[in-house]
Structure 1
Amino acid sequence: MTDEQFPDPAVQVSGAQEIAPDLLVIPNQRVQLVPNIGIIGGTQAVLVVETGMGTANAEQVLALASEVARGRRLYLTTTHFHPEHAFGAQAFTDHANYLVNRAQADDLQAKGPGYLEMFRGFGDPIADRLDGVTVPTPDVVYDDGHDLDLGGRTVRLRPMGRGHTKGDQTVEVPDAGVLFTGDLAETGQFAIFPWFPPYDTDVSGVRWLAVMDQLTATGPRIVVPGHGDIGGPQVLGDVRDYLRELRDETWRRRDSAMGEEEIVAEVRALLIGRHPEWVGREWIERGVGCLCAEHASEPHW
């Protein structure tokens, strides 16, 4: 991976948009390795969702959240452990309580150091952002979901089980009909499969599809994806339908005893033809590899 592939992942807090009363999103503006970031307010407290990559980004997010809070208590949560989502949390130390689900906390501890090292190898802009960064340690870890009372507004933090990672968490604001999905959903790009055997094989296309079926059934009014444009409930349906396409086209060829390299070539060409405007084509191969590995252990046809 080169510097050209990854420009400086700078969070632009000046672009913050209010998508519901006392609920802001700092959009990623389609910059690679910049997540959509949320600031959710109640009468007593404010919750920040995601940090951006590195302390400089996170300090800007913290400054905006503090301005919005005007003395209200601050909380922080992240949707999963990947560096652009969580590796700015140290900037919130002594300013906010950091809450995550247990599987995400385990990912941070077990895989965080390796991901920090890997991302530092993605070129100077990324390495600069991660200079001095340490893997964060949450203040509060929960097991079966956590309802966070912000004062007149309850936010639901829900672990979703294995999907994009082992520790995916959604953040739901029921009174506003808003759902933050993290990287379980993106818009305008192929689903991100962090399938890196033998180092990381926790992503599961099969489980991810089941999670998307579950989320689609909840029918949120507004969906804030991990990356890409904010949208309506169709965002969830589009990701579900793509994952189903990827699974079916991969398994159909696997059933015919095709080799993985040939499967990748055929499925990649087919899906690019169906979604020519989407970015992140490199993730198709990773997705095929993941689903080929799952093929033998899962019931199908």
Structure 2
Amino acid sequence: MAAFTIPDPVVDTDDVLELAADLVVMPNRGRQLVPNIGIVGGTHSVLVVETGMGPRNAENVLAFATEYAKGRRLYLTTTHFHPEHAFGAQAFAGEATYLVNGAQAEDLAVKGAGYLQMFRGLGESVARRLDGVVPAVPDLVYDDAHELDLGGRVVRMRATGRAHSKGDQVVTVPDAGVMFTGDLVEAGQFAIFPWFPPHDTDVSGVRWIEVMERLVRQDPRVVVPGHGEVGDAGLLTDVHDYLRLLRDETWRRRDSATARETIVEEVRALMIERHPEWEGREWIESGVGCLCAEHGA
């Protein structure tokens, strides 16, 4: 990734959105490289979903969560290993139990150092936020599913299998009808394809579509995307339909032996025509690249 200027990716812990009783979100409010962060409470425990970019952001999130918990036990989970979601977990050491699925734990261990180096190249403000980061080792690792009892409220964690990353996790709060998707879903933005051959090719557009089909069937009341505004189940449908169209238009051109450059140009133009208001147009090309590699594989 080439270096460019990004505003300081600071998490605003003063501006929270209440989604249900004892359940709030720190919305990213359109800030680049700032995730939506959840705080979910039960009678005896509180779960934090995502850390923000780097230890300083995470320390502020932890301070908010500690005050919010008022003596309740703290847990932390992250939807996947990417830096703005998980590279603050070290700040929670000794204060919260950090739990993720096995594939995400492997991503942290195997890819953490490489992503740390890559993200530091995004600009000075990001590099400062990542100063002193050591990818955390989770305290508890589950295989495919985990039920976390917070006291009168059970939170479901489900590993989706390879999609946006190898270790994606969806976190749902059934009694509130709330689903945290991480970067499987973005609001008002083209799907982020971290397709960086030969360094990282774990993203799968084909499997991502299958994951979205399952999530759509769950029909949650509220969807908290990785980035962008909190919405309803329509966000899931939007991403599913976009990914299917991206796949179909890419594969149709690939079948006709169209040159790669032409496929990118034509598909990019079509996607922008369909969604002129969406941000992140640079991710269309990497999505095409991923799907070209998966076609016929």
Interval containing the TM-score (normalised by the shorter chain): over 0.9
**Partner residue in 2 for 1:67:** 67
- Gaps of at least 5 residues in structure 1 are none
Could you tell me which residue of structure 2 aligns to residue 137 of structure 1?
137
Deviation at 1:183, TM superposition (A): 0.3
User: Following TM superposition, by how much is the alpha carbon of 1:83 offset from its aligned partner in structure 2, in angstroms?
Assistant: 0.2
2:22 is equivalent to residue 22 of structure 1: yes
Specify the alignment match of 2:179 in structure 1: 179
Structure 2 SS opposite 1:266: helix
The CA deviation at 1:2 is 3.7
Query: Alignment partner of 1:107: what SS?
Result: helix
After superposition, where does 1:246-261 map in structure 2 within 5 Å? 246-261=246-261
Could you tell me which residue of structure 2 aligns to residue 157 of structure 1? 157
Partners of 1:30 and 1:231 lie apart in 2 by: 14
**Could you say which residue in structure 1 is the equivalent of 2:193?**
193
Offset of residue 263 of structure 1? 0.1
- Matching residue of 1:146: 146
Q: Which residue of 1 aligns with 2:166?
A: 166
Ranges in structure 2 where 5+ consecutive residues have no aligned partner: none
- Displacement, 1:257? 0.4
The count of corresponding residues between Structure 1 and Structure 2 is 296
Letter in structure 1 aligned against 2:270: L
Is residue 104 of structure 2 the alignment partner of residue 98 of structure 1?
Answer: no
- Mapped partners of 1:7, 1:292: distance in 2: 33
Give the C-alpha shift of residue 144 in structure 1.
Answer: 2.1
Aligned to 2:295: 295
Deviation for aligned residue 1:259: 1.3
Give 1:154 deviation, angstroms: 0.1
| 1:31 corresponds to | 31
Tell me, yes or no, if the aligned pair for 1:3 and 1:125 is still in contact at 8 Å: no
Deviations 1:11-44 (A, max 9, x none): 0011111111000100001111000000000000
Deviation at 1:296, TM superposition (A): 1.6
The alpha-carbon deviation at position 92 of structure 1 amounts to 0.3
Q: Deviations over 1:24-65 (max 9, x none)?
A: 100001111000000000000000000000011001100110
**TM-score, structure 1 normalization:** 0.98
Identity in percent: 69
CA contact (8 A) 1:190 1:279 kept: yes
CA distance in structure 2 between the aligned counterparts of 1:86 and 1:70, rounded to whole angstroms: 24
Which residue matches 2:284?
284
**What amino acid is the match of 2:285?**
E
Deviation of 1:112 (Å):
0.5
Residue of structure 1 equivalent to 2:236: 236
Q: Which runs of 4+ in 1 moved over 6 A?
A: none
Structure 2 counterpart of 1:268: 268
